[in-house]
């Protein structure tokens, strides 16, 4: 059976043009003991509203790695999987913008090897 991975992304805004990824989470649905869970340090401090909605604080992000450091590992975790999401348009938009901003050449390979499914 093809590997299925549930993803969840926490962000600082509702659109990738205005916000940043602050948490990348993935859980292998075939083997829930395999997870990826990483906080990501944004370029700007979180607003009080974002901290209330996400339950992620500026203190929690102080020593977190950058998106540039985390994204390659996240994509490796997803590689070849069917990716399942509650809101695939939202999450794929943020992932695509982050990948393009980093000019990662892996995006075409990754987009071919990852099927996105919404639940």
CATH value at residue 94:
3.30.420.10
What pLDDT, on a 0 to 100 scale, did the predictor assign at position 1?
78
- What is the spatial distance between Cα 94 and Cα 108, in angstroms, rounded to a whole number? 16
Number of domains observed in the structure of the chain: 1
Q: What is the pLDDT of residue 103?
A: 76
Domain boundaries, position 76? 4-118
- Which pLDDT score, from 0 to 100, does residue 94 have? 92
pLDDT greater than 60 at residue 110: no
- Tell me the C-alpha distance between 20 and 41, whole Å: 9
pTM: 0.85
Residue given tokens 């209330």 in the structure block: 52
């Amino acid at each position: 059976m093809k590997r299925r991975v549930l993803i969840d992304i926490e962000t600082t805004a509702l659109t990738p043009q205005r916000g940043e990824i602050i948490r990348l989470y993935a859980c292998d649905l075939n083997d829930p003991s395999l997870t990826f869970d990483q906080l990501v340090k944004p370029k700007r401090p979180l607003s009080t509203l974002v901290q209330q909605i996400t339950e992620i604080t500026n203190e929690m992000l102080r020593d977190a790695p950058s998106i540039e450091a985390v994204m390659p590992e996240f994509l490796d975790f997803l590689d070849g999987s069917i990716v399942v999401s509650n809101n695939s348009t939202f999450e794929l938009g943020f992932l695509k913008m982050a990948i393009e901003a980093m000019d990662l050449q892996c995006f075409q390979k990754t987009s071919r090897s990852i099927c996105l499914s919404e639940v």
